[in-house]
Amino acid sequence: MTGDTLSWLAIPLALLYLAAIACIYRILLTYRTSQGAIAWIIALLGLPYLAVPAFLLFGRIRFGGYVKARRMGNKDLSDLLDTFENQSTSIAKPGDRHFSDELQVLCKLSRQPFTSGNRCTLLRDGEATFEALFEAMEQATHYILLEFYMVRSDKVGHRIKEILERKLAEGVSVWFLYDDIGSFSLSRRWLNELSAAGARVASFGDGNIRRRRFQINFRNHRKLLVCDGHTGFVGGINLGDEYLGTAMDQEPWRDTHCRIEGPAVIGLQLAWLEDWNWASNDRPELEWAPAEPPPGQQEVLVLPSGPADTWETCTLFFLNCINNARTRLWIASPYFVPDFQIMNALQLAALRGVDVRILIPEKSDSPLIRVAAYSYLVQASQAGIGIYRYQPGFMHQKVVLVDDRYAALGTANMDNRSMRLNFEIMAINTHPEFIGQVEQMLEDDLKQCRLMTESDYQDRSLPFRLGCRAVRLLAPLL
């Protein structure tokens, strides 16, 4: 090899290591866990030709493009939020001293107030959820806002499109936002036909390619619907047939959604508007006045979270729930891969005497996450944490029940992706009637669960246990 050849090779190699050093510089300024930072630094120094592009695609922990969009649209959104906080239905705002510290933290995290005068309907499965979604859209008279992580052009998807096309013909405005990664199988024809009917359609990524570059690891995992600003839905259910189990060889996914009527719907609408603004640079005129008279008596807070937040909102939400539980903490999550701080908090809660139960699925759409859950059994069992595997179908619900004081449901899982990478949303309800309905639902689910024990892990083969521990190392990426 000649000296000229070596010099030509040295130039790209030097540039590669300069890029690796630039990535390390960014890591040192922004890292949140030392383990993750050390892993990236070792990879960048040892295998820069693989690690540099991987870091650019998957290593970011802050969604910079969304942060800039939030700042650009902050004045209009702040004015709407101020109006929301000052409505007569707002019973606790961020900073109010009369509210309990625990719930006040949730207000500050959400940047929204708790509101009274709501009515919430628990929807315990896909059939009940789709029936309620279809009915609400049929009754809409002014506009329909949709935002879903996964949309399929199957029977449910075509039924949704048919309703939206019919409402558009009646003069109802439709804004449809979907995540381009979660909905990768959604047909272009489906989208084109909906757009041709008059709907405004945007994907979470396509509208801002320039600002989104090198940030494809961030996903919009929210699932919500708002009709006319007065009726809204939030929960874990996407738009797809799997929630109905219509295939001959498929059991329905076990999931939960919630219908909200009242001023809390404004919180859902604010979260939708911020996402729509990011995706399309458009802020449509919507209804912001609460319905009169209020439809119910329930107190509700909408808590959006995501990688553009100042704090790790989703992580702090779970830690607040765990650390303040006094008698009972029941959590249902299809993806249970907690980091050390969440696991330590769960152990401390159990050691305080709190009845800690974690419901996870026996059957999963992610084999790696299913295996990783076994590695937590020893820690959980020794502290008195009950981990229950739901047996029939795939349990996909995300529900938290704290004592008899509040229940939360929405889209957030107990994994790194929800804690740090995804845009999520939860609805928190303090009304005894709703809490009782959630309690009964989880009790029914527990009857169809198998309590796992330490022996489920210890009695397995050494290769299996090593595999569980190895997969757990991938927890930040799962």
Catalytic residue numbers read 221, 223, 228, 396, 398, 403
List beta partners, residue 48.
none
d(C-alpha 412, C-alpha 320), whole Å: 14
Cα Rg for the chain, rounded, in angstroms? 23
d(C-alpha 141, C-alpha 144), whole Å: 9
Rounded (to 5) percent helix, strand, coil in the chain: 50, 20, 30
DSSP 8-state symbol, 229: T
Torsion angle of the four alpha carbons 434, 440, 444, 449, in this order, in degrees rounded to the nearest 10: 80
Q: Which two tokens stand for residue 355?
A: 């009845």
Residues 6+ apart with CB under 8 A from 98: 92
- The whole-angstrom distance between residue 46's C-alpha and the CA centroid of its chain comes to 34
DSSP 8-state symbol, 290: P
d(C-alpha 305, C-alpha 311), whole Å: 9
**Of the candidates 335, 313, 331, which has an alpha carbon nearest to the alpha carbon of residue 322?**
331
Host H or E run for residue 36 = helix 34-46
- Give yes or no for a contact between 69 and 278, defined as CB atoms under 8 angstroms apart: yes
Residues 6+ apart with CB under 8 A from 107: 92, 93, 94, 95, 96, 99, 113, 114, 301
**Of the candidates 423, 465, 448, which has an alpha carbon nearest to the alpha carbon of residue 205?**
423
Q: How far is CA 195 from CA 156, 161, 165, 173, in A?
A: 18, 10, 9, 12
